[in-house]
Structure 1
Amino acid sequence: MKILFLSYKFYPDVGGIETMSDVVCNALHARGYEIKVVTTSAANAATQNRDYPVIRNPSKMQLLKLHFWADLVFENNPSLNLSWPNLLSGKPLVVALHTWIARVDGQKGIQDKLKQFWLKKAESVIACSKAIALACHPGATVIPNPYNDDLFKVKPEIRRDKKFVFLGRLVSDKGAIIALKAFHGFITKSGDTNATLTIIGQGPELESLQREAQNLQIDGKVFFEGTKKGEALVDTLNQHQYMLIPSVWEEPFGLVALEGMACGCIPVASNSGGLSEAVGKGGILFEKGNVDDLVAKLLNLENDQQLKQTLLQNGVEHLNLHKQAYVMDKYVHAINQALNK
């Protein structure tokens, strides 16, 4: 079967949709599907070759030909500037929702309304969480995101001698400033002078976060590692006990929770959006934006060995529901259903 996979963002860009596109494309290709990816993400010198073609910023004519080439179109998050030729080709359409269809303030603009209308055309709509389905398309099939279980895993040979890690873009939505303040509160109340916080990621908030660490006099305990990928990221996660996910934005799902969990970290996350579904029973939730609550949850967790062991065991069971093979079976079922409609 020939599948045209539309992903407005793709490798080498970094983010949740980019990661999901990579995982799904690799899994479909491994199952024998003929894949062609279309994206607006530009290549760079570090871009790796794929086992399938990646067409970047095609012309309108190229895009039209690709749609007619396909047996099925898989749209990984609505992108009307890539999917419009489907109006002419009429090929079966599967749309996966990985974020909210709304403006930042929650209002729906014309483009959002067009996207919701577009979903009615699809033979199958997949939502990454119950929260997304409820807000965007109540009739969607909920298939939680998979993580890359070939890459993210516990490495027993690595010493887990660091305390906290934050992984994400350094933008206000991700709440890295909350992680800093909570870390300061934790070491102040616990007296743990050996505790450290590692911040993995890049973004416009970097300099202000570095200044805040200095203002709190914890800059000697906070390490800004920049962007990490692949084995380097896995190795770093394996050095830490807890992953802080203090998003102030309503996360559609929260793939980093699974990645951290798979590397032996206990996720401590905001109680909003789809994060509770990503964390499951393998982590702890705190009130979104509440630094004091986060500090209290961290102190309680640090002092309760039985709770830590229970969460780690729960995490192993939770991850089984998000392994690529298990999730891709559900994706393939949705694809086959779309073809048979």
Structure 2
Amino acid sequence: MVFENNPCLRLSWAKVLFGKPSLVVLHTWINRLDGTIGFVDRVMVKELNRHRFQFIPSVWEEPFGIVALEGIACGLIPIASDGGLPDAIGEAGVTFKRGQLAALVATTTRLVQSPELQAKCRRAAPQHLANFRSDAIKQEFLAALESVAAPRSRQAVK
């Protein structure tokens, strides 16, 4: 059965059936995946908090990098390749040309040697993270739906 063999579908069904799947259910499913994914626990967050920068040198054009938001939330400044990652890091990090080691080195050097750039990234982080909170995303989504629905409503009235 497709449902049993696809962890994404199992998780989706758990959300549909139970609203929010319990942590026990999630851990059970994830343990069956042979270590391919896992939870970031408090130890990991504590470890990330000890560092200043996060390297995200993706080899493909990411559609969006949630890992960048997670790093920013842990106080890291992301150094990420281009693609969808610039949307995920905004002004809270810096980017370099994907696949170009020299660009990664130059970008990292510029950031490490510039306390001003680091401060700028850190100042941008709280607002950037706020833009991706569930309530902000919901409002943006509803506004997009309303902008599409409004012209159709006016046409129906005519």
Q: TM-score, normalised by structure 1?
A: 0.33
Aligned position for 1:312 = 122
1:268 to 79, 90, 94: 79
Using the alignment, how far apart are the partners of 1:283 and 1:266 within structure 2?
5
Shift of residue 331 of structure 1?
Answer: 4.5
Using the alignment, how far apart are the partners of 1:232 and 1:328 within structure 2?
31
Aligned position for 2:69 = 258
Aligned position for 2:108 = 298
Going from structure 1 to structure 2, the CA distance change for 1:318 and 1:292 (only over 3 Å counts) comes to same
2:59 to 231, 244, 248: 248
Shift of residue 315 of structure 1?
Answer: 1.6
Q: Which has the higher helix share?
A: 2
Give CA-to-partner distance per residue, 1:9-43, whole Å, 9 cap, x none: 1687xxxxx8xx99xx5xxxxxxxxx437xxxxxx
1:325 and 2:141 aligned = no
Aligned position for 2:32 = none
Shift of residue 293 of structure 1?
Answer: 1.2
Shift of residue 276 of structure 1?
Answer: 1.2
Would the aligned equivalents of 1:11 and 1:47 in 2 still touch at CA under 8 Å? no
Aligned position for 1:47 = 25
Aligned position for 1:235 = 46
Alignment of 1:131-280 (within 5 A): 228-272=39-83, 274-280=84-90
Shift of residue 332 of structure 1?
Answer: 5.9
Q: Which has the higher strand share?
A: 1
Using the alignment, how far apart are the partners of 1:257 and 1:295 within structure 2?
19
Shift of residue 335 of structure 1?
Answer: 8.1
Using the alignment, how far apart are the partners of 1:229 and 1:10 within structure 2?
21
Q: Which runs of 5+ in 2 are unaligned?
A: 1-5, 19-23, 28-34, 154-158
Going from structure 1 to structure 2, the CA distance change for 1:11 and 1:320 (only over 3 Å counts) comes to farther
Shift of residue 334 of structure 1?
Answer: 7.0
Amino acid at match of 1:47: V
Using the alignment, how far apart are the partners of 1:275 and 1:234 within structure 2?
21
For residue 17 of structure 2, give the secondary structure of its aligned residue in structure 1.
strand
Using the alignment, how far apart are the partners of 1:236 and 1:228 within structure 2?
14
Shift of residue 228 of structure 1?
Answer: 5.0
Using the alignment, how far apart are the partners of 2:47 and 2:38 within structure 1?
11
For residue 269 of structure 1, give the secondary structure of its aligned residue in structure 2.
strand
Q: TM-score, normalised by structure 2?
A: 0.67
Using the alignment, how far apart are the partners of 2:109 and 2:59 within structure 1?
21
Shift of residue 326 of structure 1?
Answer: 1.5
Going from structure 1 to structure 2, the CA distance change for 1:334 and 1:300 (only over 3 Å counts) comes to closer
Amino acid at match of 1:282: A
